[in-house]
Structure 1
Amino acid sequence: MALQGRRLVLALSGGVACYKSADLVRLLVKAGASVRVVMSESAERFITAVTMQALSGQPVVTSPWDARESNNMAHINLTRGVDAIVIAPASADCIAALAQGRADDFISLTCLARPWGVGEQPCPLLLAPAMNREMWSHPATRRNVAQVVADGAVLLGPAHGDQACGEIGDGRMLEAEELFEEIVAFFEPKLLQGQRVLITAGPTFEAIDPVRGITNLSSGKMGFALARAAREAGAEVTLVAGPVALDTPRGVRRIDVRSAVQMHEAVMSVASSQDVFIATAAVADWRPALAAEHKLKKDGSGRCPALNFVENPDILASVARLPKPPYCVGFAAESEKLAEHARTKRERKGVPLLVANLGPATFGRDDNALLLVDEQGERALPEEGGRADKLLLARLLVREIAQRLTPTRT
C-alpha cells in the first residue's frame, strides 16, 4: 500500500469542500495511513466529527481543551512523530492565521506547535486551498500564501472550476482522488529531481478508411503509470499518448496522437531536450500505404480490398540515433520466447535497457510482470516473481532507471 505506516494529521477548516475530506480520509486509510482528524468549529458546520471518526477509525479532536488527552495538550501530542499535517480544506482565514503565526484556533495552534527540526525531524505542512475565486485572487490572500510557502508549506492546488457560490474560477479545492495522488507523490523519493522524461503510451491507430483502422489491444495503463511514477520522483514529464481512455496523471504534460507517424513527429520534436526516453507505446509496425478517402464497402461479390502496407518509422531507434540521445528504455510486447526476442530487440534498437512483457497477458490489465534486459543479462520485476500492480512496477522501474543514470551524470 502506497502510504503503509504513514502517520498523518488531517485538519479541516471551514468550507463546503469539507465533504471532499470525507472521501480523502477514506482513501488515505485504505492506502495504509493512520489518520487523526482535527476539525475547526467552522468545519463542524459542514460535516460532523462523527462522520470523520467513523472513516478514520480514530477520535476526532475539535478543541485544545480536549480532556481525553492525559496532559490536555492535544496541540502538542498530535504533531509529535507524525509524517505530515494536511489541511484540507484550507480556508482563506486559516491560511491568514498560519501566515501571521496566530494560535487563536485549534488548527493554527497545532500547526504553530509542530516540530521545526529543532531536536527532531520537521513536520511537513501540506495545504489544499478552498475559497471563492475573488478571495483567492485578493492581494491579502496572495501575500499570505506567499508567506506560508516561504515558511515551508506545500500547496496542493487549488483547481479552476465551478464553485459552490455558482461562480467559476480558481480557488476550488482539488478532488479527493487528486489530493490523494499529491500526498502519495509528496512522500515518494525524488530520484529523478530535475530530470526531463519523455514517455510514449498506448496503441497507435493506422487508418484504412475514414471509419476503420489497424490497432492493437494496448490500454496505455503501463505508460500512464510510468508517467505518474516519474512525476512522483520529481521529473518533468511529457507523455505522448495514442488513442486511450485514461486520465492524465497530475503534473504531466500530455500530447495526444493517433498514428505511428504522428507519434514519431511528436517524440522527435522534443526528444533532443530530454534526459530519459521510455518507449512504452505499442506502435504499429506497418500502416496501409494509402488510406481510402471514403468508407470501403462490400459489394456482395466476395472480393476483399487489397491493402498495400509500408513500414512505420522506428521511434525508439530514431531517438537512440540522435547525436546526444537521452537514456533510452525500450518496451517489447511479445507472445512467445520473451527473453530471446527481447535480447534481439535491444541489440537491434541500440538501447541500454529493454523491458519485455507478454502482451496477451498484460493488455488491458491492472497488473503485469516485467523482464529487464541489458548487456549484463536478464532480471525479473518484481524480483520475487509473479505479477504486481502496474503503478508499483512503474515505481520500481523508475528507481532502476535512476540508479542507471547516476554513474553517467555529474
Structure 2
Amino acid sequence: MNIILCVTGSIAATESIKLARELKRQGFNVKSFMTDAGTKIIHPNAMEFATGQEVVLDLTGEIEHVKYSQADLILVAPATANVITKFAYKISDNPVNSLLITAHGHNTPILFVPSMHDSMYKSISENIEKIKKETISNEIKFVKPRMEEGTAKFPKIEDIVLESKRIINLNNNDKKKNNGSKLRNKKILISLGGTYEAIDPIRGITNKSSGKMGLELVKEAYSRGLEIKLIVGNVAVEIPKSFNTIYVESSEDMNKKTKELVGDYDIFIATAAVSDFAPITKESSKISSSIDLSLEFKPTEKIIKQIKQINPKVFLIGFKAEYNISNTEMVNLAKKQIKEAGTDLVIANDVCLKGCGFGTEDNQVILVDDNIVEIPKSSKKEIANIIFDKLAKEI
C-alpha cells in the first residue's frame, strides 16, 4: 500500500517524522512531498530518513505530481490554512497542491490533518466546507484537530494512522470486492471495560478489566469500515473522541443500554467484564470507616442470554474470562454459553496466565464455535485481527 505524505509549513511538521515511521511500521510504503515552508520547519533529510525515499521538493520532467497521484492515499499532515485554501480554489503553485489537484482528478483518496492557530482554523472553515460539498464520492476527508491552548493541534499519530487505514481499506474493498468488503457498512455494537457497583457515594466494587482488548477490536472494526457504536464502562484506556461512544457505570446501566441498542445492529461483541454481583443496597451517604461492615450481594442480570431474543439476526460474540482452569474446562464452559445464549462465537481465556488477560498488552485465547481454535500468546491487536478475519468469512 502506497501513501504520499505531504508536509507543509506548520510547526506540527515536527510530528510528521514520527508519523512516517509509524506508517512504515504498519506496513505502508511512504513517499514524501514537501512545500518550501515545510522545509523551513524540518529538513528534507529527516523525511528521507523516516520514509527511506527521496523527498519531492520540486516538480521536474518526471512530472512527479502525475506519477504519484494515484497512490492508495494522499495524506496531508500537517495541512496549513494556505494549502487547504489553495486546494479549495484549485490553485497549483507548489508540488503539494499540484499533487492534490491531480489526485483529485483521479478520485484518489485525500486525508487532510489541519494544524494551525484556532482563529485561523475558524477562518478557513468555509473553505473546508467548500471542499466537503464538492466531494462526490467521499474521497476527501479531514481529521479533526485537538483544540487545546488556543490552537488546532496535530491529532494523535495513532488516530491519523487509524483513519488512513480505514480510508484505504474502504477504497480497496470497493475495487476488489474481497472478503473485507462484506463487513463494510455493517453496524457493530461493542461493549468494553468493567462495571462499577456502588456501595455508597464514594466506594464500590469493580474488576480488573482495562478495556484494552475491547479497544483493539474497536480499532480493527473501524479500520475495516464498519459503522461502530461503543458502550464503555470503567476503562484504563483512552477512547478516541471520534468514536460514537456511550459511557455507563454499573452493570444495570450497561445492560439497560445494551438492550436499548442491540436491536439495530448486525454484530454485537460483548467484550465488557460485567459484574456478576451487585450490593443489595446502596447507602446514600458515606459509610463510617469506624464500624464493622457486612455486605449482602445479589446476582446481576445475565444480559448475554437475552441478546438473541431481542435481535435473533445479530451475530453475537461473547468473551469468557476464567481463572486457573484447563483448556478443556474453558471450552466446555464456552459451549455451555453457546447453548444457553445462542452465542455465535465465544472467545475464552484464562486470566491467570502470566502476561495475559486484564490490563496486559497480550492474551492467549481459544475461539469456540463449531470449531475450536487455540491462539497462542499474541498481542491483543493481533487477536482482534484474527477475530475480524474470521468474522469476514462467516458474517
Change (3 A) 1:108 1:323: closer
- Aligned mate of 2:41, from 42, 46, 52: 46
* SS across alignment from 1:64: coil
* SS across alignment from 2:352: helix
Aligned to 1:3: none
How big is the alpha-carbon RMSD for the aligned residues of Structure 1 and Structure 2?
Answer: 2.7
- Aligned mate of 1:143, from 118, 130, 136: 130
State the distance in 1 between where 2:313 and 2:251 align: 20
The alignment of Structure 1 onto Structure 2 pairs a total of residues equal to 374
Shift of 1:102: 4.2
Structure 1 residue 158 corresponds to structure 2 residue 144: yes
Q: Percent identity?
A: 26
Change (3 A) 1:113 1:210: closer
State the distance in 2 between where 1:159 and 1:116 align: 26
Asked whether the 8 Å contact 1:16–1:46 carries over to 2, the reply is yes
* SS across alignment from 1:277: strand
* SS across alignment from 1:360: coil
Q: Aligned ranges for residues 11-410 of structure 1 at < 5 Å?
A: 11-65=6-60, 72-79=62-69, 82-114=71-103, 123-131=108-116, 132-138=120-126, 140-147=127-134, 149-150=135-136, 153-159=139-145, 161-162=147-148, 167=150, 172-188=153-169, 189-249=180-240, 251-292=242-283, 293-299=285-291, 305-322=293-310, 324=312, 326-335=314-323, 336=325, 337-361=329-353, 362-374=357-369, 376-380=370-374, 385-405=375-395
Normalised to the residue count of structure 1, the TM-score between the two structures is 0.82
State the distance in 1 between where 2:137 and 2:226 align: 24
Gaps of 5+ in 1: 1-5, 66-70, 406-410
Q: Deviations over 1:318-376 (max 9, x none)?
A: 222226452221111112121111111221223222221112231111122222222x2
Change (3 A) 1:178 1:234: same
Shift of 1:269: 2.0
Gaps of 5+ in 2: 170-179
State the distance in 1 between where 2:165 and 2:188 align: 20
Q: Which residue identity does 1:187 align to in structure 2?
A: I
State the distance in 1 between where 2:234 and 2:73 align: 38
Shift of 1:235: 2.0
Change (3 A) 1:235 1:115: closer
Q: Deviations over 1:161-206 (max 9, x none)?
A: 137xxx46xx654333321221122233454222221111111222
Asked whether the 8 Å contact 2:266–2:314 carries over to 1, the reply is yes
Asked whether the 8 Å contact 2:337–2:343 carries over to 1, the reply is no
Asked whether the 8 Å contact 1:191–1:234 carries over to 2, the reply is no
Shift of 1:83: 2.9
Q: Which residue identity does 2:50 align to in structure 1?
A: L
Asked whether the 8 Å contact 1:157–1:173 carries over to 2, the reply is no
State the distance in 2 between where 1:145 and 1:281 align: 37
Task: Give the number of the structure whose residues are more often helix, by fraction.
Answer: 2
* SS across alignment from 2:376: coil
Would you identify which runs of 4 or more consecutive aligned residues in structure 1 move more than 6 Å?
Answer: none
Asked whether the 8 Å contact 1:129–1:155 carries over to 2, the reply is no
Change (3 A) 1:75 1:342: same
State the distance in 2 between where 1:243 and 1:141 align: 36
Shift of 1:222: 1.0
Shift of 1:137: 2.1
Deviating more after overlay: 252-261 vs 201-210? 201-210
Change (3 A) 1:175 1:57: same
Q: Which residue identity does 1:186 align to in structure 2?
A: I
Shift of 1:62: 0.9
Asked whether the 8 Å contact 2:79–2:112 carries over to 1, the reply is yes
State the distance in 1 between where 2:294 and 2:145 align: 52
* SS across alignment from 2:183: coil
Asked whether the 8 Å contact 1:191–1:233 carries over to 2, the reply is no
Change (3 A) 1:207 1:144: closer
Q: Which residue identity does 1:182 align to in structure 2?
A: E
Change (3 A) 1:114 1:325: closer
